[in-house]
Amino acid sequence: MKAIVLLKRRSDITHEQFRHHYETVHAELAHKYLGHLFLDYRRNYPKFVEYGARSSDTPTAFQSPYDAITELRYRDRAAFEEAQRIMSDPVIGKIFEEDEKNFMDRAEFRVFTCDEVVSTLPS
């Protein structure tokens, strides 16, 4: 099972401050409390949208509306639900909530569960 998480930084901090906090504090909390449930935990930091939807479009360079796109892989739905249960714990949930206030715009936080399709490419 896969989840995609979209995060936006607080408007009063830089991209560099956002990324530093996410990598050195928040990701470590995720590893500590939820890491046993992850098969994979990736954080992607968009730079710029380089092109439009088609190769014939005129290149554009506008900034992504999100500062991080996180990919979480769980072995199954039960592992995902266990992560949600842990995050709902009054003590652990509060730890994450308080940390999120340090670097992200919580109103813009989005989580999507996904069906993933992987293409087999010719060799």
Inter-CA distances, 86 with 18, 36, 76, 82, 119, Å: 24, 12, 16, 6, 34
Token pair listed for 64: 């992504």
Which stretches does DSSP call E strand in 28-101?
Answer: 38-44, 48-49, 62-63, 68-74
Number of other residues whose CB lies within 10 A of the CB of residue 114: 12
The domains of the chain, with CATH numbers, are 2-52+59-114 (3.30.70.100)
Each residue's pLDDT tens digit, 1-49 = 999 999 999 999 999 999 999 999 999 999 999 999 999 999 999 987 6
Tens digits of residue pLDDT in 59-103: 566 678 899 999 999 999 999 999 999 999 999 999 999 999 999
pLDDT at 61: 60
Can you tell me which residue has the tokens 């340090």? 102
Task: State the Rg of the chain over Cα.
Answer: 16
